[in-house]
Structure 1
Amino acid sequence: MIRQLVPARAQGAGIRTGLRWKLSAAIALVGALVAIALSLVVHNAARVSMLDNARDLADERVQIAQRNYEQSGRPNFYFPNIKIDDSRLPPALREKVRDGRRATFVSDRRRGGPDIWAAVPVKDGHVLSLHTGFTDRSTDILNDLDQALVIGSIAVVLGGSALGVLIGGQLSRRLRKAAAAANQVAKGESDVRVRDAIGGVVRDETDDLASAVDAMADTLQERLEAERRVTADIAHELRTPVTGLLTAAELLPPGRPTELVLDRAKAMRTLVEDVLEVARLDGASERAELQDIVLGEFVARRVAAKDPDVEVRVVHESMVTTDPRRLERVLFNLLANAARHGKPPIQVTVEGRVIRVRDHGPGFPGDLLAEGPSRFRTGSADRAGHGHGLGLTIAAGQARVLGARLTFRNVRPAGAPEHIPSEGAVAVLWLPEHAPTNTGSYPTMP
């Protein structure tokens, strides 16, 4: 059996409509149905009432004509529509009169108003009947009523739509505020409260949702904080024995086994120091120590001291205010990642406040491009096998402390499809125009 797989984006695709328009359409639809139902009921009730009045009037007139006829022996000329044995008398009414009963009857015409009939048997065996139509005044009243009902129905629909837009707009606005606050929480701003963001005096389900999101965010924050503390404590506790192990390894006699032990001990120490640094960065307690530096000259000097084979090109020089130690840490981690996972030549370009580090390897893995650096994830097989995955995580954390933005992309030929291998990876560090202060805030221009 063949199954067609539908991409996730196609499954989630659809027409996106606002809550206010859905609510407005629902209220308008309900209002229209109610207005139509009430209009039909009122119209039918008014028509039935008018017909009953007309039948009563015709019945009264035919009774008067009956008395006059039986006294004088001829129809009453005060009612010109009175006839004796009218051939047009409806059969149903004729049957009732033959049974000796006085009756009225209403017959509908294809055009115009209904016909009102009233008939009564008289003593000589004849049938006295009255035939009238729906009066013009009654027809006008019914037409005016229908017009008023139509206007009222339209007003109800429009008013319901406006009310739906108003109520839906308020609810939609609260939900958008809640979504924006939740996105801020997702980005790591733990001091944001969704309930405070939506505001409002009247409590509804939106407040319940906001409170639940706040409670969930607090629980996750507590768990992350507990995880960070455990990680930091473990790394801190490992620092002493690892340092002792490294010292002891240095006392071993020279030889290949000693070199292997020293290499693993140094790797363990680097890992412990990196884990401690990640824990400090996750705690959001790090503050930049700012200095004014000439960015191009600084990068060229530090890169030359680190790896003379790396090409540095300064396109545009600029003066920046940043933390040189943290900037160097970001730069060296990017160079180490390019050397470990990429291929030479490695190039560093400085243009204004932007630093680009490019290699000519297989490129960054897709999950890193989509989600950003993640600790202990070294990427796909073509960029894996070395390191512990903390280098880019530390670089991204130090960039946040600097108020900078670190992005990653792969270099492909222009117009090349996704399956074409990339021609290298580029990490771009965007330094801010206004560097963060020592308190973590950003200065504003007067």
Structure 2
Amino acid sequence: MCCALAALLGVLVHVQVTDQTVGQARELALDRLADATEAYEAGDPLFPGSGIDPPGLPASLRALAVGGDRGTVVAEHRGRPVMWAAGPVDHGRTIAVHVDYAQQARTIEALDSAILWSSALAIGATLLVGAFAVTRVTRRLHATAQVARRISGGDLDARVDDPRTRDPDRPQDEVAAVAAALDSMASSLQSKLLAEQRFTADVAHELRTPLTGLHAAAELLPPGRPTELVRDRVAALRTLTEDLLEISRLDTGRERLDVDSEELGALAERVVRASGTRTEVVVVRDARVETDRRRLERVLGNLVANAHRHGRGPVVVTVDGPSVTVRDHGDGYPEYLVAHGPQRFRTEGGAKGHGLGLTIAVGQAEVLGARLTFANAADGGAVARLTLPVEAPAVDGG
């Protein structure tokens, strides 16, 4: 806008000054034309710069005068700019005068040069100041966006820490307000997640002791249908407690890897045999990977169990290089799960379970440095794909 305004002002000044200069020269030429006409009609000799049908008179102005009108035009005459004025006289002839226009032309040329340089200087200064100001703002916005991406990636310790937000005496602009809001949101979210993690861990730990007693007491009950029901419910409750404990350990982000070299095809077959289910294993292309065998078996075991529990057969485990796919032929995953991933204690469509199996699978996959995605096949069925890293994952201390 500043550049456009500078250019517009330059054009307006040029037009105004040019019109004024040309107008003054035109008035002078017309006054001299009137004096020459009066002298011609009185029979007096014409003064220098005037004449009847003088050579060099522009054809357009000559035609205008022959038609009975008076007019002016700026043109070159003997290598110099002049202002011509012409009018009609007797017998279809033209009387014309010319006034030197060189000084006015130089004035306009000097003015145009001054406008050009001043506009260029103003535009250059505006661009430099604008670039400096915009760069500072965009740099702060870029830093804020980076922090937002880190938070969305799970780094809840990330903060913008804009200097303006730490000093209340400094003026607060919109970028500082956004940074402060983002930091406040991250702190609040981190506090809530930590509280949830502590609650989950505390509940699981508190339930573990009484469940151990319940399990021991259930083993002492006499055989019968009621005893089987009690033992089944106690076992389910123990499984839920162990899952909660595992999730609480994954939430801390301090899990320790025990890396070893494993053949994916053989490992997938072991997982299927251990599950006791009718699951087909297809090895398209076997691969040896550096990974934590126990955690990988846990991920695949949960995926296979979920496929049988919530889907329909046939369930197929396909090994293709470092990628393992578990597919069933049921109704597929819910839309929320495909879009946002599994969420603990959320199920839809009357499905049994607590949503912990897939949550644990995702958490263990992150520890392994693998990528676990969920999708629905075009011809029906749920598809979970685990892609392991080619290189060995880093071992974190616990």
Return the TM-score normalized by structure 2. 0.72
What amino acid does structure 2 have at the position aligned with 1:178? T
Counterpart among 177, 185, 190 of residue 156 in structure 2: 190
Q: CA RMSD in A?
A: 4.2
Out of 31, 38, 44, the residue aligned to residue 3 of structure 2 is: 31
Aligned to 1:237, which of 206, 210, 225? 206
Residue 405 of structure 1 is matched in structure 2 by 371
**Residue 231 of structure 2 aligns to which amino acid in structure 1?**
L
Q: Aligned letter for 2:340?
A: E
Instruction: Note the C-alpha offset of 1:282.
Output: 1.1
- Partner residue, 1:139: 104
Query: How far off its partner does 1:111 sit?
Result: 4.7
Q: Find the counterpart in structure 1 of residue 351 from structure 2.
A: 385
Taking only the aligned residue pairs, the percentage that are identical comes to 46
| SS of residue in 2 equivalent to 1:228 | helix
CA distance, structure 1, for counterparts of residue 318 and residue 133 of structure 2: 54
Q: CA deviation at 1:145?
A: 4.2
Say whether 1:426 aligns with 2:383: yes
2:88 alignment counterpart: none
Distance 1:400 1:317 in 2: 22
User: 2 CA distance for matches of 1:226 and 1:308?
Assistant: 38
SS at match of 1:312: strand
Answering whether residue 264 of structure 2 is matched by residue 295 of structure 1, we say yes
Contact 1:32/1:153 (8 A) holds in 2: no
Post-superposition offset of 1:370: 0.7
CA distance in 2, matches of 1:50, 1:298: 95
Q: Secondary structure at the match of 2:343?
A: coil
How far apart in 2 are the matches of 1:406 and 1:247?
Answer: 38
- Once the two structures are TM-superposed, the CA of residue 153 in structure 1 deviates from its matched residue by 7.4
Per the alignment, do residues 43 and 262 of structure 1 end up closer, same or farther by CA in structure 2, a change over 3 Å counting?
same
**Residue pair 2:26, 2:72 contacting (<8 A) in 1 also:** no
SS of the residue 2:207 aligns to: helix
Residue in structure 2 matching 1:262, options 214, 223, 231: 231
- The separation in 2 between residues aligned to 1:152 and 1:133, in whole angstroms, is 33
SS in structure 2 of the partner of residue 409 of structure 1:
strand
1:147–1:46 distance in 2 versus 1, CA, 3 Å: closer
Give the alignment of 1:40-189 within 5 angstroms: 40-41=12-13, 44=16, 111-112=73-74, 135-145=100-110, 147-148=112-113, 151-152=116-117, 155=120, 159=124, 162-163=127-128, 164=130, 168=134, 171-189=137-155
Aligned to 1:438: 395
1:360-396 per-residue CA deviation (whole Å, 9 max, x = no partner) reads 11111111111111111124x1xx4211111100000
CA distance in 2, matches of 1:204, 1:440: 43
**Contact 2:333-2:375 within 8 A present in 1 as well:** yes
SS at match of 1:374: coil
Equivalent residues of 2:18, 2:108 under 8 A apart: no
Q: Is the Cα contact below 8 Å between 1:46 and 1:142 reproduced in 2? A: no
Residue 309 of structure 1: which of 265, 278, 293 is its match? 278
- Residue identity matched to 2:291: T
CA contact (8 A) 1:396 1:406 kept: yes
- What is the letter of the counterpart of residue 376 of structure 1? F
TM-score normalized with structure 1 length:
0.65
Could you tell me which amino acid in structure 2 is paired with residue 430 of structure 1? T
Per-residue Cα deviation, 1:272-325 (whole angstroms, up to 9, x for no partner): 211121111111011211122222112212312322521112222222211111
Bigger mean CA deviation after superposition, 161-170 or 390-399: 161-170
Structure 2 CA distance for aligned equivalents of residues 242 and 168 of structure 1: 63
Aligned length: 350
Aligned counterpart in structure 1 of residue 244 of structure 2, from 272, 275, 282: 275
The one-letter code matched in structure 2 to 1:347 is: V
CA-to-aligned-CA distance 1:383-441 (integer Å, 9 cap, x gap): x421111110000000001111101111114xxxxxxxx2x111111111122232279
2:307: which partner in 1? 338
Higher mean C-alpha deviation, range 389-398 or range 223-232: 223-232
Equivalent pair of 2:25/2:99 in contact (CA under 8 Å)? no
In 2, Cα distance between equivalents of 1:233 and 1:308: 34
Which whole-Å CA distance do the structure 2 matches of 1:51 and 1:426 have between them? 84
Amino acid at match of 1:155: A
Q: Secondary structure at the match of 2:373?
A: strand
For the 8 Å contact 1:322–1:402, the answer to whether it is kept is yes
Q: Does 1:248 align with 2:245?
A: no
> Unpaired runs of 5+ in structure 2?
29-43, 51-69, 76-82, 86-96, 163-169
Q: 1:218-237 maps to which residues of 2 (within 5 A)? A: 218-237=187-206
Q: Measure the CA separation in 1 of the matches of 2:145 and 2:202.
A: 35
Letter in 2 for 1:438: V
Equivalent AA in structure 2 for residue 333 of structure 1: N
Structure 1 CA distance, aligned partners of 2:224 and 2:204? 30
In terms of mean alpha carbon deviation, does 331-340 or 224-233 score higher? 224-233
> What is the CA deviation profile of residues 64-122 of structure 1, one whole-angstrom value per residue up to 9, with x for unaligned ones?
xxxxxxxxxxx9x99999xxxxxxxxxxxxxxxxxxxxxxxxxx977559999xxxxxx
Distance change (3 Å), C-alpha of 1:153 and 1:343: farther
Separation of aligned partners in 2, 1:366 and 1:160: 55
